[in-house]
Chains A and B, each alone.
Chain A
Amino acid sequence: MKLYQLTVQKIGEMLARREIKAQEVLESVSERISQVEHRIQAFTTLTLESARDAAMDFDNRGKITGLAGIPCGIKDNLCTRGVKTTCASKMLEEFIPPYDATAVNKLKTAGAVMVGKMNMDEFAMGRSTGSSNFYPTRNPWDLTRVSGGSSGGAAAAVAAGEVFYALGSDTGGSIRLPASYCGVVGMKPTYGRVSRYGLVTFASSMDQVGPVTRNVTDCALVMNAICGYDCLDSNSLQAEVPDYLGYLQTDIKGMKIGFPREYFINELDEDVKNAIKKALLKYEELGAVVEETSLPHSKYAQPVFQIIASAETSSSMARFDGVRYGYRDEDAQEIAEMMSNSRARGFGPEVKRRILLGTHVLSKGSYEAYYLKAMKVRRLIKDDFDRAFEKYDLLVSPTTVSVAFKPGAMTEAVCDILTTPANLAGIPAISIPGGMVDDLPVGLQLMGRPLAEGTLLKAAYAFEQATDYHLRTPVLEV
């Protein structure tokens, strides 16, 4: 087996025992990138030079931390000091932040080796990475299909062996959906568990940074590194971060699992439904108590998400006006014109639509009917979860309605029906490889109560160890 095919945990152990050098590990990944990247296009920026410096640093005097010396990718909406952070948008094509996002800083402190910035849907708004200003990212399992989005580059690169793990962001499913399509593990932590400082805002009350990894153990390792209180984020939780590795055991007898009937919607592909049912049976085999349950307000999650996310985004995207940084229309003679033209050219249609929608739902005359109403229904959706978690340890559902689709074959609105509720309620959720349909991965979603990442990892690990989906990798002709 080549080095790039191993896991974070395995590489970490080998580095700790000085069996291999970080530079070797990086070379393996670098070679892999040169083999497959032109077909996948997972990166927006490669930083192999500085990665080599970091790897050499580790080899010379690095502290063993579990992530030290291991190559990773960072989604391009996480600010990286001195390295372009574009959000895959023309608006920020040349933007170089003088600061690191806190999550990035934590990885750097842990000795991580950043290989590059990962492609994404523009400003994280999309479900396919098709709206990237640069190029779409293709699914390593089938290059004619999308990688999913918005953290498509992160998921594809992890699946293809270009990086060992990556940091993505999830606002309505942006980590979990591409993880599902690419057959990898993707976790959205509890809102407030990981600092949002330096994550370019999509929707303030829903955004979270999270890991994309090949297996659950790797996910726990990354979670250990990035979670925790940050005084630079007013919505950061002070709760202590446990050692997530401690939750990785296979005995889940008696665990109470609910599957909400409302998630088995009409649009759900029959094959995917069957794969999920099979997964539920597996959980029963493992000794869990599996029951159908109900989250009655699930069907309202989609419009609630669209209204609130677009409202928040219309405000947080206003800072992109060409004045202090970013794309600017140099020819404009007057300032309102300059701003309007800069934003017209700097933003793609997906971003514009959400800003316009958000502007509308916050306007005089629309605020009560849309925004305020959506906020109220949001509470009902959260209450559904609170009630469910009084009875169940976790909830299980499909992550996506289908396997990875071909570009244009799916309206994106259908894609995140199953993932947005967790963002609205602020609860943690994880997608793990849950099955295969026609040689394409199917994601299994687990959702837990606030700060129950440990429970999710435990249930995820047990399932993973009892199946082999996580061991399957896409075959890429080189």
Chain B
Amino acid sequence: MTVEYEAVIGLEVHAELKTNTKAFCSCGLSFGAQPNSHVCPGCLGMPGTIPVLNRGLVEYAIKTGLALNCQIAEYCRFDRKNYFYPDLPNNFQISQLDLPIATKGSLEIEIGGVKKTIGINRVHMEEDAGKLVHQGNIMTTPYSLVDLNRAGTPLLEIVSEPDMRSPQEARMYMEKLRSILLFLGVSDCKMEEGSLRCDANISIRPKGQEKLGTRAEIKNLNSFRALERAAEYEIKRQIEVLEEGGQLIQETRTWDEDRQVTLSMRSKEEAQDYRYFPDPDLPPVIIDTAWIERVRETLPELPDQARDRLVQVFNLPSYDAAQLTMSKDILDFFDACVTEYNEPKSVANWVMGELTRLLNQSNMEIKDSKITPSSLAQMLKLLEQGTISGKIAKVVFEEMFTTGDSPDKIVKDRGLVQISDESAIQAIVSEVIDENPKVVEDFKNGKGKAIGFLVGQVMKVSKGKANPEVVNRLLKEELSRR
């Protein structure tokens, strides 16, 4: 009898916060700046330097905790995690162990139309390390170079409960968490840049069993796709081990993107003793209800609320709502456009369709797009008025995207105004019918689809500008007359 296994997945996510300054010193944050140019005696770990807590970090942490439905701690403190590494200036990391700032939260994911709540165990504050750059291959390089610009950057660590049961759920959780953080504006959440990082804890157990199996921690997941693939691989690997009668060990594994496998890290991590103790340099943080409420008032509309609004107020299908709330920038664009042109479904279609296609093609973000909510609204009005046809609209849209010109200007400059004048179209219809007797005969003999060719010809002659509805009608009328 084969055992049916279920996967148990928990995720540990680190988000780099975009406060103005680092967690414990007043250096500005940097990305891509000259190496070791955003450092001070404090984040260089020089003798006699001591940390001073950034208020912005605490506010962002409370904000995030609230957005994740957490209980915000009345009393929390900082602890030191002691270990040696060249990118860690003090050779300890200031973090939070026993008394984190937020606990017992949750977020909701939707899979196949079914909603599921994923628990969040804790959210805590800590600081980032610097960057270690290896010359060449990590195995053969004789030396490494240390850049401490990133050292001291504020991080939030968000630990989920092991509530996910499939790689897809894990991915959905990450996507939802990411969109919440983006909506809050606390992080850039770019996995490829490292401002959002994720480690997965994966184990399996026979279905129905309550006790958790031996888990593996998977690191080096640099994209949502990597997370999903690594989880799929790891679950399969663990099942295979057990089915072959082997034993699983608790270990840390790394995802090898090239070979698409997880590999054991023969790490001394297991023997590591971090010797946590409360950081004596930093007084505790006491958060009263007044502070929590002040922060709560600054909470923006979150993805779930926005989705509900789009469905209930704008009557959009939930698929559209989900797509439009993937990022705050997209949602803001959509909302702005709808205020000028109150046809949410049309706007939704164009944002999810043509605009997304063009953005992806050019590898651009919506906030960098030359098309503005206003210009899209204008274009949609032209379309509604019949000034341009649907096909022409696509042409106009692409030009708007490339040049940033207004739709009015483009339509005027390129003479793309739709021809709806019936006599003009009639003239072309007659011409086309005259020139295609065979097709006309096919049509009369019952080949209904032949009209498509004729429509095409009319459109060709009119350079696409003829109003297709009128063309169809006049063609049909003319054909029935002949």
Contact = CB atoms under 8 A, between A and B. Distances in A.
A234 interface: yes
Contact of A87 (B41, B47, B52, B277): B47
B325 to A, nearest CB: 40
B280 A205 contact: yes
Given A318-B90, A321-B84, A311 B277 contact: yes
Interface in A255-297: none
A79 B42 CA distance: 13
Contact-size category for B = 20 to 34
Contacts of B51: 234
A197 B277 contact: no
B47 A97 contact: yes
Contacts of B404: none
Contact of A85 (B47, B91, B144, B146): B47
Given A87-B47, A234-B50, A324-B89, A362 B277 contact: yes
A312 B275 CA distance: 11
Interface in B321-348: none
Contacts, number: 99
A28 interface: no
B280 A312 contact: yes
B46 A339 contact: no
Contact of B47 (A92, A335, A364): A92
Interface in B72-109: 80, 82, 84, 86, 89-92
Given A315-B82, A324-B89, A336-B84, A363 B45 contact: no
Contacts of B49: 197-198
Contacts of A200: 47-48
A235 B82 contact: no
A104 to B, nearest CB: 10
Contact of B90 (A99, A319, A325): A319
Interface in B177-228: none
A311 B80 CA distance: 12
Interface string A318-339: 1111011100000001011001
A197 to B, nearest CB: 6
A98 interface: yes
Contacts of B82: 314-315, 318, 362
Interface residues of A, number: 46
Given A98-B41, A234-B283, A319 B275 contact: no
Given A318-B90, A323-B146, A324-B89, A363 B275 contact: yes
Contacts of A362: 82, 275-277
A199 interface: yes
Contacts of A201: 47-48, 50
Nearest to B279: A204
A134 interface: no
B424 interface: no
Nearest to A101: B48
A142 to B, nearest CB: 33
B282 interface: yes
Contact of B53 (A196, A205, A234, A324): A234
Nearest to A372: B277
Given A234-B282, A315-B80, A324 B45 contact: yes
Contacts of B144: 335
Nearest to A325: B46
B50 A196 contact: yes
B275 to A, nearest CB: 4
A312 B283 CA distance: 15
30 contacts: A79-B47, A79-B48, A87-B47, A97-B47, A99-B41, A101-B48, A196-B50, A197-B49, A197-B50, A198-B49, A201-B48, A204-B281, A205-B280, A234-B50, A234-B52, A315-B92, A316-B90, A318-B84, A318-B91, A318-B92, A319-B45, A319-B46, A321-B91, A324-B44, A325-B46, A333-B142, A335-B86, A363-B273, A363-B275, A364-B273
Interface of B: 41, 44-53, 80, 82, 84, 86, 89-92, 142, 144, 146, 148, 273, 275-277, 280-283
Given A85-B47, A234-B51, A335-B144, 18 more contacts: A92-B47, A97-B48, A196-B50, A197-B48, A200-B47, A201-B47, A231-B52, A233-B50, A234-B52, A312-B280, A314-B82, A315-B92, A318-B92, A319-B45, A319-B90, A324-B44, A339-B84, A362-B82
